[in-house]
Amino acid sequence: MAYSEKVIDHYNNPRNVGSFKKEDDDVGTGIVGAPECGDVMKLQIKVENETIVDAKFKTFGCGSAIASSSLATEWLKGKSVAEAQKIKNTDIVEELNLPPVKIHCSVLAEDAIKAALGDYQKKADGKKPKVEEAAASS
Partner 1 sequence: MCWHCQSEVTGEYLCGQCVKVQPLSKALDYFACFKLDRLLAIDEQQLERIYYELSRTFHPDFYCTKDDSEKTISLGNSAFLNSAYRVLKDPIQRVEYLIRLEAGAVKDIRSNPPADLFEEILELQEDMETFRGLSPEKDSTERAALREKLQRERERLEGRQEEMEKALGAKYQEWDELQVANADPSEARDQKNGVLRSMQEILSNRTYICNMANELLETTG
71 neighbors 95 (Cβ within 8 angstroms): yes
Interface with partner 1, residue 115, by CB under 8 A? yes
When the beta carbons of 42 and 102 are compared against partner 1, the nearer one is 42
Instruction: Determine the Cα–Cα distance for residues 79 and 125; give it in Å rounded to an integer.
Output: 20
Instruction: Determine the Cα–Cα distance for residues 44 and 55; give it in Å rounded to an integer.
Output: 6
- Mark whether 62 is an active-site residue: no
- Partners of 42 in the β-ladder: 31, 58
Q: Which of 10, 42, 46, 104 binds partner 1 (CB under 8 A)?
A: 42
Q: Which of 4, 6, 20, 58 binds partner 1 (CB under 8 A)?
A: 58
The three-class DSSP label of residue 60 is strand
Within residues 9-38, the interface with partner 1 by CB under 8 A covers 31-33, 35-36, 38
Instruction: Determine the Cα–Cα distance for residues 28 and 47; give it in Å rounded to an integer.
Output: 8
- As annotated, the active-site residues are 37, 105
Which positions lie near partner 1, rule CB under 8 A?
31-33, 35-36, 38, 40, 42, 58, 60, 115
